[in-house]
Structure 1
Amino acid sequence: MKTLLVSLDHTAATEHTLAYANKLAVRWPAEIVLLYCHPTPAEPLTEAATAAVLAAEEQRLRSLVERLRYQQLTRQDGRRIRYRYRLHSGCLHDHVRAEAALCGADMLVMGLEHVDCGREEAPGNHAAAIRELVDCPVLLVPPGRRTLPNRLVFAADFSALPLAVLPRASALAEAFPAPLELVQFYAPYERNRRRALKLALGRAAAQLTWPVIGRHLLEDDAPLEGTGDFCARTQAQLLLIAPTSQAELLRYFDACYTATRAYHTCIPVLVLPATAPATAVTCCDKCTERLAQTPRTLASNAELAAGL
């Protein structure tokens, strides 16, 4: 069963986050686990008082769910979604790892302008911190009503991205069955690497299961700005990224981009884990050798396909 873990708060954009998750749950299909963490008050509450507060918040969430599922979906689609509720006292970053593991989340959906512990972080800052805590992809939904995407852009350094990450991206093709554009930027001083970068794009495309995949090798000494410009030119409705560090993710939502409403801050961004899954446990040395050879075989086949 596919599962969306949807983190909600008290910002005005919460409705937009849930509405987008609803549409995604119908298309995939998936169940929705709603996660709400209530800020701890300055004056500690008794256990009974805390339970009463969380019960009131759950009722508030249920009212929101019932309103949105029939307001923005057909009655048939609205009835199809299964919801579960998880409420805690404290901060999201204290509970999200355990909750994602408990429900086996295939994706964490949260607002870009999220509030945690009663503090509103700069857009993207809180999301970057949460991304470090979960193993599943994180979908950041900016404020505003929107439909599910029919134009996707995947921007990354495919020459450095582990191939093992790409099958996890392919698992999302059912949810976002639109043409996918792979974009690899290189600086002017890297022109001698064009062939290697082209091969890396070919290997990435061979690992992905989208029915239509475009490949673009573009020269730009500012890849982040280039990504935003490319998304604007193609009118992309979803950007996939696989940053290799928290600092790199934070740069996507730097204050200068959010203040000027750069294109890539105004569309949903799907952040993929840029690390390989845990190494498989093998029963003997022979199995270990076979598993080690498999990625090399796949890579060799992809290079041959790219050269044809």
Structure 2
Amino acid sequence: MQFQSKNREPATKSKKPETTMHTLLVPIDHTPAAEHTLAYANKLAVRWPAEVVLLYCVPAATPGELQRQEQRLRSLAERLRYQQLTRQDGRRIRYRYRVLAGCLHDHVQAEAARCAADLVVMGLEHIDCGRQEAPGNHAAAITALVACPVLVVPPGRRSLPSRLAFLADFGSLHLNTLPRLSALEGAFPAPLDLVQFYAPAERSQRRRLKQDLNRAASHLSWNGVTAHLLEDDAPLEGISDFCARQGVQLLVVAPGTPAQLLRYFDACYATTRAYHTQIPVLVLRGAEALPATACCDRCAERLAQEEKQAKLPDYHAVRWA
């Protein structure tokens, strides 16, 4: 017999907002440090949330060897699933496995596009194609190949960051790079410091540099942004000191050239254990500025006029004696 209570309104199920699932592409090299990289990626996958795609490249392997390496990859993921995580969080992580014959730098671009990776997470001392180079060299090469940001994790156990710093030349930084950083706020919901250094010889340009810094801050949809304009003729030493003072646990950089990125991982900083080499570094590639396009003849005429005006000297801005 069924009973119905009187004066009771029919229950309505509240719809929970759907959570967007992101994708982390995690290259693995099976060194001891790779376990720290995967443990960090696991924490990030739970917080964001994100699916983890584990990628292992074997320089030369038979089909049977590839199958054996995939099983090894699965065993590693299952062993680390609950490390530093509760059992409930560990169960939430979704893995996919990719084992390919060849080198990482030959496959990473296609694999990042294939899984629509939002972020590549790799170790600072990653070994690619059996070659061990200076810390950060392989990561710098991978950064030049993929369009998404690359998170470089040094060896050691670490928690997700509670404070971030973003070092860049905001005068030359493309503003279309900033949405890439804003898209990662869900992964790293922490206070963000924007840091711009200038040399003592550039003191006369402080006003312009401050305007560039504030403009970048206004284009970031990030809670808790603080801008810092600091004088130091050695930015890398300066950012290490700044991060140490502020307790920064993740450094974001937007290098203008590959050579500039390699300087972050220079052997002298690794040897002296500079602070910025002891914390994860998130590398943002600057998107190329897209040329203006016209939708009609009238817009084409307006764009041509604006381009012509831009090439002419601005006599009104000159202070005549």
Distance change (3 Å), C-alpha of 1:78 and 1:162: same
Distance change (3 Å), C-alpha of 1:56 and 1:217: same
Distance change (3 Å), C-alpha of 1:284 and 1:171: farther
CA distance in 2, matches of 1:109, 1:287: 43
Aligned to 2:105: 93
Distance change (3 Å), C-alpha of 1:227 and 1:88: same
Q: What is the 5 A alignment of 1:2-81?
A: 2-40=22-60, 50-81=62-93
Aligned to 2:231: 219
Is the partner of 1:256 in helix, strand or coil?
helix
CA distance in 2, matches of 1:68, 1:279: 47
Aligned to 2:277: 265
Is the partner of 1:120 in helix, strand or coil?
coil
Aligned to 2:267: 255
Deviations 1:146-205 (A, max 9, x none): 000001000111111011100111000110000000100000010111000100111110
More helix by share: 1
Deviations 1:95-133 (A, max 9, x none): 000000011110111000010111111101111111110
Distance change (3 Å), C-alpha of 1:286 and 1:154: farther
Deviation, structure 1 residue 283: 5.2
TM-score (norm 2): 0.84
Contact 2:163 2:250 in 1 (8 A): yes
Unaligned runs of 5+ in 1: 294-308
CA distance in 1, matches of 2:201, 2:238: 16
Q: What percent of counterpart residues are identical?
A: 70
Larger gyration radius, structure 1 or structure 2: 2
Aligned to 1:112: 124
Distance change (3 Å), C-alpha of 1:273 and 1:287: farther
Counterpart residue identity of residue 66, structure 1: E
Distance change (3 Å), C-alpha of 1:141 and 1:61: same
1:157 to 2:177 alignment? no
Distance change (3 Å), C-alpha of 1:286 and 1:64: farther
Post-superposition, which runs of at least 4 consecutive aligned residues in structure 1 deviate over 2 A?
A: 275-290
CA distance in 2, matches of 1:65, 1:287: 55
Contact 1:2 1:30 in 2 (8 A): yes
CA distance in 2, matches of 1:283, 1:276: 21
Pick the aligned partner of 1:139 from 145, 148, 151.
151
Distance change (3 Å), C-alpha of 1:285 and 1:162: farther
Contact 1:165 1:277 in 2 (8 A): no
CA distance in 2, matches of 1:286, 1:24: 49
Number of equivalenced pairs? 283
Deviation, structure 1 residue 72: 2.2
1:183 to 2:195 alignment? yes
Aligned to 1:124: 136
Contact 2:174 2:289 in 1 (8 A): no
Deviation, structure 1 residue 280: 8.8
Deviation, structure 1 residue 10: 2.3
Contact 2:39 2:83 in 1 (8 A): no
